[in-house]
Amino acid sequence: MKVLITGIDGYSGWPLALHLLSRGHDVVGVDNFVTRKRVKEVGSWSATPIPPMPRRLAAVKEVLGKELRFYRGDLSDWELVRHLLETERPETIVHLAEQRSAPYSMIDVHHAVATQVENLTGTLHLLYAMKEVVPEAHLVKMGTMGEYGTPNMDIPEGFFEAEFHGRRDHLPFPRQAGSWYHWSKVFDSGDVMFATKIFGLRATDVMQGVIYGIRTPEITDHRLFTRFDFDETWGTALNRFIAQAVLGLPITPYGKGEQKRGFIALEDSMQSLRLAVEHPARPGEYRVFNQFDAAYSVNELAERVGRVAADLGLHPTIEHPSDPRVEAEQHYYNPIHENLLGLGYRRTRELDDVIREIFHDLIRYRRRLVARQHVLSATVNWRLPDSRPLLRARNAAGASPTPPPVDPTAPSSAHTVA
């Protein structure tokens, strides 16, 4: 099947390309490299060194023996989107090219606007280009479990049987997102649902849980690494915790730490996206998958990271700074996730094993963490209209003027750390 991946340079896009190529699909990708720029903007970098795209493509050819076609471009450019679809005529479009950081969207008004405007514009451009050029193609769009927030009830997969004043209807489940970024995903979901209705497009809307992990079976060489962000804006809580443990810093779940979320291993998220690609929605169908494997509280993550760290000879401690976000710190959480099971999804990775694997890689790249360890501390506050002064002050105080050189082929330094 011919698959276009938008955002192919990103954390999910890159391993998805490798996975689909290894399954025999014809993969083409597009990216504007904005995540690289924005991670730099907040003073950070990927723990794993990520080569420039030409070297990534060369490594794919050399290691996997596959051709991966790449377009550099921005989905905000309508002519580019239409040209891309006319040239490639994909059967499936996996749309990952969005600003994907909640804290980044909360930095200030300009980051809020950029997040919502860019995410909406790219999606609308794709929907119209699909209608004009490849109306039979299937859109697999990346949403987030965060669209639903934390209602005091089970969360269905997109729709539920609602009742009010004695009458019933099958309605979209209410969304209560927790950041401008998460709202941008809610908005995208509305636009995609509407496009399936007016244009008859096929769409799978993936309510993605938090992904954890650094490796997939196809990442057999350091040149094939995907990025691994650990700073306060781009890294997930789990990523930050492991980086903190590697650096000997306290692990810091925000607030009470009883915030629960749905999680899935990187490899299993790729399995899920591949299942969606290989089992397309019907024409006019808008299908929602809650794509996660198990729910954990932030405290559970911190404890699991702490246990693995201790096994590795580290001496982790856990601290609870006040929560810079506005969110329920204790709540009911039980989302349904059955649609993917129906397509044959099976868990292949266990959280503790993946945590161990991440530790192994982060210890190897420990010097890259040391050089940027100030980016772990929280500066972006949901209640402030402008967190830039705090962010700048942190980076000015913490930035290492000359980061140490890194040799990605150097052997793991796990033993020297332990």
Instruction: By CB under 8 A, name the binding residues for a second copy.
Output: 78, 108-110, 112-113, 116-117, 120-121, 124-125, 128-129, 131-132, 151-154, 156, 160, 162-165, 167-169, 171-178, 180, 183, 186-187, 190-191, 194, 197-199, 326, 332, 382-383, 385-386
Q: Closest approach of Cβ 142 to a second copy, in Å? A: 18
Check: CB of residue 16 under 8 Å from CB of residue 224. no
Q: Closest approach of Cβ 40 to a second copy, in Å? A: 24
Please give the torsion angle defined by the CA atoms of residues 45, 188, 127 and 22, in that order, rounded to the nearest 10 degrees. 50
Q: Measured from the CB atom, is 129 or 219 closer to a second copy?
A: 129
The residue from 35, 115, 144, 252 that is catalytic is 144
Q: Is 144 among the residues known to form the active site?
A: yes
Q: Is 181 among the residues known to form the active site?
A: yes
The residue from 104, 148, 181, 333 that is catalytic is 181
Q: Closest approach of Cβ 198 to a second copy, in Å? A: 5
In sequence order, what are the beta bridge partners of 144? 208
Q: Measured from the CB atom, is 174 or 342 closer to a second copy?
A: 174
Q: DSSP alpha helices (H): ranges in 49-204?
A: 53-59, 78-88, 102-105, 109-133, 180-199
- Alpha-carbon span 359 to 226, nearest angstrom: 15
The residue from 92, 123, 141, 185 that is catalytic is 185
Q: Closest approach of Cβ 176 to a second copy, in Å? A: 7
- Alpha-carbon span 332 to 65, nearest angstrom: 48
Q: Measured from the CB atom, is 161 or 407 closer to a second copy?
A: 161
In sequence order, what are the beta bridge partners of 261? 296
Q: Measured from the CB atom, is 33 or 332 closer to a second copy?
A: 332
Q: Closest approach of Cβ 25 to a second copy, in Å? A: 27
Check: CB of residue 278 under 8 Å from CB of residue 225. no
Q: What angle do CA 314, 315, 318 make, to 5 degrees?
A: 125
Nearest to 164 by CA among 155, 174, 156: 174
Q: In what order do the strands lie in the sheet with 210-212?
A: 210-212, 260-265, 294-297
Q: Measured from the CB atom, is 341 or 410 closer to a second copy?
A: 341
Check: CB of residue 4 under 8 Å from CB of residue 28. yes
Nearest to 380 by CA among 301, 320, 330, 326: 326
Q: Measured from the CB atom, is 25 or 111 closer to a second copy?
A: 111
Q: Is 61 among the residues known to form the active site?
A: no
Q: Closest approach of Cβ 95 to a second copy, in Å? A: 16
Task: Supply the residues annotated as catalytic.
Answer: 144, 181, 185
